[in-house]
């Protein structure tokens, strides 16, 4: 299947003839009418309750709402997400490499920590860290640090898995060449394997930034003054529909933009990956598929991005996002 | 040892098992809703009808990019409080139903994307053959494409279900006060001296639930994958 030439949607129906075109047109009108009807019903319900009155929306057009609530909230959201993604990258590199260590104890301990952080809900970690940090006097802003540390632990352990499977899925020649020129295992990881894995991880990192940004909204439950909490405060008690609408639009626009950026990066990376694969295939036609197959056997259940079958499958949709 | 037995007496006040049951039941209800909505969305997405395609794309993009917490807050403070949408006389029931709807809608967008990636694993020949024997769009989707797509998308659907299990804790924001994160918070407030043990108790509960689901989804995805 060649997804570039043929979008998945066109596979399921022939190039329509005149009769089918008519049917499709009718279906289109009916479908459009149903969608429009749903929207109209919702709008009418809102209208009946007076939610669409201009007076109700005053609160979100006043400059003071933006300068005192929405923009500071947005800045807090972005700060938490940015600090968290940097921390998560550091955490992920350390634990991803630790999971590749020769020493069994290191591998095992890192594995337990990563699996634990991936399985525990972020909200539970945040609540726990908030109370814990609150009881330690030298931590200045418990809410902020609870949000950031919880996001680092979760996203960091996801990134650790990406680093690990990224390294495992590199062609074996890379590892062999590194040992052939006399690099130790650590040096090989540092100079040859991890940099390549990191490059191919770039789109996934952007996707993880979206996850961190979305999860930072959990901070509203532990009194961190991010966008959601500020919007809620601004709208209390009777304008939350309007203020939360604005906050939602801001979240969606930012995340959608980042998602598109990730997709573009993924396309660029894939372009690079393909040229590399072709060269590899020319040099040693047997080794490349073997390396891929072995990586699949060793590591079939990991993040979908580096699982070969899922990767191929997802290439078609360009979707590399996680929850 | 004495510390542990004091912790045991302290935790007896909290019904931890029941709290986890609330989360599991939220997962089951919201998961069913998400699967239904996600299947509808993906069918619309691949249909020849462009207005439905557009609506589905919009729906998926909106609910994939909005934070779950925002959805859950909207369910409580907009849908319930400001718009007075109510399903019963008991506000606990209302909050539970609203939480299920919020979780279901949010995760349906990820189910739809998982299914769409599964549809891309179905070779073109399958759909062509289905059309070749005269099946209509809906017939070929239902009988030929979606069954294979489901089998090809078990791994990403499994990931979505695991995320859903963990995300049910956000139901506390909608006012479901019997679930784990609210129970844990109450316990920490009453017994701050046990904070680490309390967190460990609830965290291990999730590890015990999540890891088998992950193993199951991996083995299912391998066993049910269509050999090509």
B119 vs A244 pLDDT, higher one? A244
Which domains does chain A carry? 63-272 (1.10.3720.10), 278-317 (no CATH)
Let me know if residue B38 belongs to a domain. Answer: yes
Q: Whole-angstrom Cα distance, residue B161 to residue B159?
A: 5
Chain-chain contact of B48 with A123 (C-beta, under 8 angstroms):
no
Q: Smallest Cβ distance to B48: which of A24, A35, A240?
A: A24
Has residue A148 got a pLDDT over 60?
yes
CB neighbour list of residue B17: distance below 8 Å, 6 or more residues apart: none
Residue A299's pLDDT is: 35
Count A/B contacts: CB-CB distance under 8 Å.
208
Chain-chain contact of B49 with A31 (C-beta, under 8 angstroms):
yes
Cα-to-chain-centroid distance, residue B146: 20
* Overall average pLDDT of the A69-84 stretch: 95
Tens of pLDDT, residue by residue over A175-189, are 889 989 999 888 888
Residue A273's pLDDT is: 56
Let me know if residue B69 belongs to a domain. Answer: yes
pTM exceeds 0.80, yes or no: yes
Let me know if residue B92 belongs to a domain. Answer: yes
Let me know if residue B124 belongs to a domain. Answer: yes
pLDDT classification of A55: cutoffs 50, 70, 90: confident
Residue B88's pLDDT is: 87
* Overall average pLDDT of the B151-170 stretch: 93
User: Over pLDDT 70: what percentage of chain B?
Assistant: 100
| ipTM of the predicted assembly exceeds 0.85 | yes
Has residue B179 got a pLDDT over 90?
yes
Kindly list the residues from chain B whose CB atom is less than 8 angstroms away from the CB atom of residue A317.
113, 116-117, 120
DSSP labels, chain B: -HHHHHHHHHHTTS-HHHHHHHHHHHHHHHHHHHHHHHHHHHHHHHSS-HHHHHHHHHHHHHHHHS-HHHHHHIIIIIIIIIS---SSS-HHHHHHHHHHHHHHHHHHHHHHHHHHHHHTTS-HHHHHHHHHTT--HHHIIIIIIHHHHHHHTHHHHHHHHHHHHHHGGGHHHHT-TTSHHHHHHHHHHH-GGGHHHHHHHHHHHHHHHHHHHHHHHHHHHHHHSPP-
Residue in B closest to A49 by C-alpha? B83
pLDDT classification of A297: cutoffs 50, 70, 90: very low
Q: Whole-angstrom Cα distance, residue A164 to residue B37?
A: 35
CATH of the domain at B121: 1.10.3720.10
pLDDT classification of B176: cutoffs 50, 70, 90: very high
Has residue A220 got a pLDDT over 50?
yes
Has residue B63 got a pLDDT over 60?
yes
Residue in A closest to B205 by C-alpha? A120
Domain count, chain B: 1
Kindly list the residues from chain A whose CB atom is less than 8 angstroms away from the CB atom of residue B105.
none
Chain-chain contact of B82 with A313 (C-beta, under 8 angstroms):
no
Chain-chain contact of A317 with B123 (C-beta, under 8 angstroms):
no
Q: Whole-angstrom Cα distance, residue B65 to residue A212?
A: 12
* Overall average pLDDT of the A246-252 stretch: 96
Let me know if residue B87 belongs to a domain. Answer: yes
Has residue B201 got a pLDDT over 50?
yes
Per mean pLDDT, which range of A97-106, A192-201, A223-232, B2-11 is the poorest? A192-201
Cα-to-chain-centroid distance, residue B72: 13
Has residue A305 got a pLDDT over 50?
no
Chain-chain contact of A8 with B180 (C-beta, under 8 angstroms):
no
Q: Whole-angstrom Cα distance, residue B59 to residue B36?
A: 14
Residue A191: count other Cβ atoms within 10 Å of its Cβ: 11
On the question of a cis peptide bond just before residue B80, with omega within 30 degrees of 0, the verdict is no
Instruction: Supply the range of the domain harboring residue B38.
Output: 20-176
pLDDT classification of A23: cutoffs 50, 70, 90: confident
Let me know if residue B214 belongs to a domain. Answer: no
Let me know if residue B15 belongs to a domain. Answer: no
A297 vs A110 pLDDT, higher one? A110
Let me know if residue B5 belongs to a domain. Answer: no
pLDDT classification of A276: cutoffs 50, 70, 90: very low
DSSP assignment letter at A245: H
pLDDT classification of A190: cutoffs 50, 70, 90: confident
Pick from A9, A10, A12 the residue to mutate for testing the B interface (most B CBs within 10 Å): A12
């Amino acid at each position: 299947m060649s997804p570039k030439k043929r979008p998945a949607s066109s596979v399921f129906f022939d190039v329509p003839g005149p009769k089918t075109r008519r049917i499709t047109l009718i279906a289109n009108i009916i479908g459009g009418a149903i969608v429009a009807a749903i929207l109209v019903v919702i709008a009418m319900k809102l209208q009946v309750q007076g939610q669409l009155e201009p007076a109700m929306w005053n609160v979100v057009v006043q400059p003071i709402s933006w300068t005192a609530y929405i923009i500071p909230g947005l800045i807090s959201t972005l700060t938490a997400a940015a600090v968290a993604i940097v921390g998560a990258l550091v955490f992920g590199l350390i634990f991803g490499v630790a999971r590749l260590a020769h020493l069994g104890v290191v591998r095992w301990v890192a594995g337990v920590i990563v699996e634990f952080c991936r399985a525990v809900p972020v909200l539970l970690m945040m609540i726990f860290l908030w109370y814990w940090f609150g009881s330690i006097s030298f931590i200045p802003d418990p809410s902020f640090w609870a949000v950031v540390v919880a996001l680092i632990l979760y996203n960091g352990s996801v990134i650790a898995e990406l680093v690990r499977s990224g390294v495992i899925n590199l062609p074996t020649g890379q590892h062999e060449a590194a040992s052939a020129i006399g690099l130790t295992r650590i040096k090989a990881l540092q100079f040859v394997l991890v940099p390549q894995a990191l490059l191919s991880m770039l789109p996934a990192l952007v996707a993880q930034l979206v996850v961190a940004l979305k999860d930072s909204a959990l901070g509203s439950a532990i009194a961190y003054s991010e966008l959601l909490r500020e919007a809620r405060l601004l709208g209390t008690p009777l304008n939350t529909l309007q203020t939360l609408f604005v906050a939602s639009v801001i979240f969606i626009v930012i995340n959608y933009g980042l998602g598109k950026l990730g997709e573009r990066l993924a396309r660029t990376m894939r372009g690079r990956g393909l040229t590399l694969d072709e060269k590899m295939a020319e040099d040693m036609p047997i080794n490349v598929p073997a390396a891929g197959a072995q990586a699949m056997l060793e590591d079939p259940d990991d993040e979908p991005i580096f699982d070969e079958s899922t990767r191929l499958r997802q290439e078609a949709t360009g979707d590399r996002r996680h929850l | 040892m004495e510390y542990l037995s004091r912790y045991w007496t302290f935790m007896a006040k909290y019904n931890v098992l029941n709290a986890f049951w609330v989360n599991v039941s939220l997962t089951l209800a919201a998961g069913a809703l998400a699967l239904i909505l996600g299947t509808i969305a993906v069918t619309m997405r691949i249909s020849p009808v462009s207005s439905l395609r557009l609506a589905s794309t919009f729906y998926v993009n909106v609910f994939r990019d909005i934070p779950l917490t925002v959805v859950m807050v909207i369910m409580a403070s907009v849908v319930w409080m400001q718009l007075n949408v109510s399903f019963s006389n008991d506000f606990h029931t209302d909050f539970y139903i609203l939480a299920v709807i919020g979780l279901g809608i949010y995760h349906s967008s990820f189910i739809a994307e998982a299914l769409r990636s599964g549809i891309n694993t179905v070779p073109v020949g399958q759909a062509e053959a289905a059309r070749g024997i005269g099946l209509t769009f809906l017939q070929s989707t239902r009988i030929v494409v979606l069954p294979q797509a489901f089998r090809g998308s078990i791994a990403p659907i499994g990931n979505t279900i695991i995320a859903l299990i963990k995300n049910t804790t956000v139901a506390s924001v909608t006012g479901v006060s019997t679930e784990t994160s609210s129970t844990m918070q109450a316990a920490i407030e009453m017994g701050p001296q046990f904070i680490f043990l309390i967190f460990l108790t609830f965290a291990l509960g999730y590890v015990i639930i999540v890891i088998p689901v992950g193993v199951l989804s991996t083995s299912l995805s391998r066993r049910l994958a269509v050999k090509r």
